[in-house]
């Protein structure tokens, strides 16, 4: 991760303190060398207090490989709330609801973009019309390949009652990376700026929603993207072949990718009625295609001149 060396500022760092006072929104990354450490330690409490008092700022200050403030990616489950919870109760055979994006309007009203995946066909317009406080702006069906799933992308205006999971995260100045309703649980991935911030978020959600089940905490360098992962799944579905989608979905649902693994290559091959060696070759090809969409062509795949 890059950063702004303290040497770029005045040697006594007074200008850095001044910069901290002028900040409003964004990300600051500062790094300093061992030689600068002693000078910085004297001013660090003042600098940290000034920076952390600014709304919506995530600050990382480091020297060499030691972090003074860290960025944490947290994954947890909690109680579903609001429109997605009502939608979950209203749809039979629901597989998942993903909150792809949301914008606050006023008086508890949000414009929300959601991806709804259902195992059987359903009337999207009639379903939304039956829910009070929600207006459907638009919807469209997303190609799902051979999976047989019905995938709808919805844009709605919803009046969310307090407490709303996204509102709680934003009030705590956490970055929401993913909000997914699945198996009657709201699965959340969010980014917080340090351990104290993490504890404040966890306590607030426990107090407001009555449930906070931590799945994982990871120290990270990359903040990641806020929400909108639904577009990624849409892109991947249209780029993979039907055979690859069926192969990956079957392996995933049987637990081939789980840790610990719940199904072996032989188990999945038998389910697909192919040989184990054929499955192993196909799964590597599908994984290679999937990773190629993310990272681009590898050196070995690049055309020779």
In a domain, 88, yes or no: yes
For residue 14, is pLDDT > 70?
no
Q: What angle do the packed helices 230-239 and 276-295 form, to 10 degrees?
A: 130
Residue 304 placed within a domain: no
Q: How much is the mean pLDDT over the chain?
A: 77
Q: What is the pLDDT of residue 294?
A: 64
134 shares its domain with 151: yes
Does residue 112 sit in the same domain as residue 213? Answer: yes
Determine contact, residues 99/227, Cβ cutoff 8 Å. yes
Q: Is 60 in the same domain as 128?
A: no
Sort 143 into a burial class: Cβ within 10 Å, 0-12 / 13-18 / 19+.
exposed
Which pair of structure tokens corresponds to residue 255? 């637990």
How many domains, in total, are found in the chain? Answer: 3
| Per-residue pLDDT, 101 | 87
The single-letter DSSP state of residue 143 is: P
Residue 18 has pLDDT above 70, yes or no: no
Diameter of the chain measured on Cα atoms? 71
- Segment 26-74, tens digit of pLDDT: 344 444 444 444 555 555 555 545 444 443 333 333 333 233 357 899 9
Model confidence band, residue 240 (pLDDT cutoffs 50, 70, 90): confident
12 and 112, same domain (yes or no) = no
Does residue 231 belong to any structural domain of this protein? Answer: no
What pLDDT is recorded for position 10? 38
Copy the structure tokens of residue 216.
């994982």
Mean pLDDT, residues 129-157 taken together = 86
For the ranges 49-53, 100-104, 170-174, which has the lowest average pLDDT? 49-53
DSSP state letters, 8-55: GS-TT-HHHHHHHHT--SEEEEEEE-HHHHHHHHHHHHHHHHHHHTST
- Whether residue 279 lies inside any domain: the answer is yes
pLDDT of residue 6: 40
Q: What confidence score (pLDDT) does residue 107 get?
A: 87
Cβ pair 166, 99 in contact under 8 A: yes
pLDDT of 277: 93
pLDDT beyond 50 at 271: yes
Q: Of 206, 181, 227, give the one whose Cα is nearest residue 88.
A: 181
């Amino acid at each position: 991760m890059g950063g702004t060396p303290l040497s770029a500022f005045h040697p006594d760092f007074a200008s850095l303190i001044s910069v901290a006072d002028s900040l409003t929104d964004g990300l600051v990354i500062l790094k300093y060398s061992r030689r600068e450490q002693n000078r910085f330690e004297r001013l660090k409490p003042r600098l940290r207090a000034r920076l952390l008092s600014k709304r919506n700022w995530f600050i990382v200050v480091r020297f060499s490989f030691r972090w003074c403030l860290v960025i944490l990616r947290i994954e947890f489950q909690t109680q579903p709330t609001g429109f997605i919870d009502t939608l979950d109760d209203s749809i039979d055979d629901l597989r998942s609801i993903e909150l792809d994006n949301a914008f606050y309007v006023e008086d508890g009203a949000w414009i929300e973009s959601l991806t709804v995946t259902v195992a059987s066909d359903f009337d999207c317009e009639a379903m939304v019309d039956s829910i009070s406080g929600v207006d459907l702006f638009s919807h469209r069906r997303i190609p799902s390949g051979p999976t047989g799933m019905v995938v709808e992308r919805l844009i709605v205006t919803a009046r969310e009652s307090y407490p709303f999971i996204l509102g709680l995260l934003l009030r705590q100045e956490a970055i929401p990376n993913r909000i997914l309703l699945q198996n009657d649980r709201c699965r959340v991935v969010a980014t917080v700026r340090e351990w104290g911030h993490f504890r404040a978020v966890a306590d607030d959600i426990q107090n407001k929603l009555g449930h906070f089940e931590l799945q994982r905490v990871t120290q990270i360098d990359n903040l990641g993207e806020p929400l909108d992962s639904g577009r990624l799944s849409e892109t991947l579905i249209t780029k993979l072949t039907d055979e690859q989608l069926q192969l990956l979905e079957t392996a995933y649902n049987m637990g081939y990718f789980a840790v610990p693994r719940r199904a072996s290559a032989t188990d999945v091959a038998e389910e697909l009625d192919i040989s184990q060696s054929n499955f192993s070759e196909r799964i590597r090809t599908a994984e290679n295609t999937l990773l190629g969409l993310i990272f681009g062509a590898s050196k070995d795949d690049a055309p020779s001149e």
